[in-house]
Amino acid sequence: MSDSCIGACIYCSQLNRINTRQPYKKAICGKCKKALFVGQPINLNSQNFLIHLKAEIPLVVDFWADWCGPCKMMAPIFKQAAKELEPSIRLGKVDTEAQKMLASQHQILSIPTLILFRGGKEIARKSGAMQLSPLLNWVKSHF
């Protein structure tokens, strides 16, 4: 394993080199000085989506909408998954109503849809709401 990896700040989107020999909870952004990991999904939009894809930390994105019942049901489960998977895997959310271009670019045909990205490329996709255990198993099965 390398002594460092690149991660994006959840507040200012600055890319940061993270020392992997130190606890991730100590990692702070070099620009805004806030914690890089807080155990919560981040809100992604057209301005920060590509930056988080560039980071070396794998990214699981939940494409959702406020009017979607299954999306609302899955929101607290996705939040719990972020607490369990971070810092090894970053979780983010894209509101398909507010970010129609991102939804279109990723060919989102139903919601919720989860896409797992690694190295900036899509490696897995799953549509439909999931409970915590199947969600964690699905993500971990790709690593």
Give domain status of residue 50, yes or no. yes
Locate tokens 């890319």: which residue? Answer: 15
The CA-based dihedral angle spanning residues 51, 88, 139, 66, taken in that order and rounded to the nearest 10 degrees: -50
Q: What is the pLDDT of residue 41?
A: 97
Catalytic: which of 5, 12, 29, 68?
68
Count how many domains the chain has.
1
pLDDT tens for residues 55-89? 999 999 999 999 999 999 999 999 999 999 998 89
Is residue 71 part of the annotated active site? The answer reads: yes
C-alpha separations of 141 from 69, 73, 116, 135 in Å: 27, 23, 11, 10
Average pLDDT of 124-143?
Answer: 96
pLDDT digits (tens, 9 = 90+) for 7-46: 999 999 999 998 877 767 788 999 999 999 999 999 999 9
Is residue 126 within 8 A of residue 138, CB to CB? The reply is yes
* Position 27 in a domain: no
Provide the residue range defining the domain that includes 130. 39-140
Confidence tier at 5 by pLDDT (50, 70, 90) = confident
Sort strands 42-43 and 90-95 into parallel, antiparallel or unpaired: parallel
CATH value at residue 104: 3.40.30.10
- Residue 68 known to be catalytic: yes
The pTM of this model reads 0.92
Q: In angstroms, what CA-CA distances link 54 with 16, 117, 118, 120?
A: 11, 10, 9, 6
Return the DSSP state at 68: -
- Residue of 54, 55, 73, 53 whose CA lies nearest to 64: 73
